[in-house]
Amino acid sequence: MKTRESAVKLKIPKSTVHEIVHDTLGYRKMSARWVPKALREDHELKRFEISQRLLLRCQQDNGDEDTTHIGVGPGGDFRAKNNLFDNLITGDKTWVHLNTPEAKRDSMIWKHPSSPVTKKFKVKRCAAKVMTTVFYDVTGVILLAILPQGQCINAAKYCSTLDRLRL
């Protein structure tokens, strides 16, 4: 509820509502944190299972059950002493919408400083969008493929992107 709406409902000045909310209650106007997309529960479960299998493989390759061989390498990058992750490449594709997101001011809400950070999923869609595929390894992005506006990924285009990845 906005301070103006509260002021009208309570029949008090807007400045008084602001003083109560801000000074007395200690609330601050905060923006929600943008996150790229919401995963369905089955997608989250699949990612978890794959991660578990990857860790199990690491443990088996090292002949132990301790995962201490996985850690942060020089420069803060993720490393495994057995180099399993050095050889791992992963990728994803997504539509990138070519619009200006909702202004931060429009998504701000009153929150107490001890309240958890709010996440907001972007639901406003724009007709102009491009299909983007990104592949990365432990060093960062190794291939970014952007299809022309209006084109969708198909088997031939995906194979072409994978061929570029091999080079």
The 10s digit of each residue's pLDDT in 45-55 is: 898 898 898 88
- 68 and 137, same domain (yes or no): no
pTM reported for the whole predicted model: 0.45
- 54 and 98, same domain (yes or no): no
Residue 27 lies in a domain: no
In the three-class reduction of DSSP (H, G, I as helix; E, B as strand; rest coil), residue 31 is classed as strand
- Percent of the chain beyond pLDDT 90? 14
Cα–Cα distance for residue pair 150/42, rounded to 1 Å = 29
Would you say residue 20 has pLDDT above 80?
Answer: yes
- The mean per-residue pLDDT over the stretch 56-84 comes to 57
- 167 and 93, same domain (yes or no): yes
Cα–Cα distance for residue pair 1/82, rounded to 1 Å = 54
Tell me, what's the pLDDT at 13? 93
Would you say residue 71 has pLDDT above 50?
Answer: no
- 166 and 95, same domain (yes or no): yes
- Which residue range forms the structural domain that includes residue 150? 89-103+124-167
Q: How confident is the model at residue 70 (pLDDT cuts 50, 70, 90)?
A: very low
- 48 and 69, same domain (yes or no): yes
- 141 and 81, same domain (yes or no): no
Tell me how many domains the chain contains: 2
The domain boundary, picked from 44, 60, 88, lies at 88
The domain boundary, picked from 60, 88, 116, lies at 88
- 61-65, 68-72, 142-146: lowest mean pLDDT where? 68-72
Residues 6+ apart with CB under 8 A from 130: 95, 96, 98, 146, 147, 148, 149
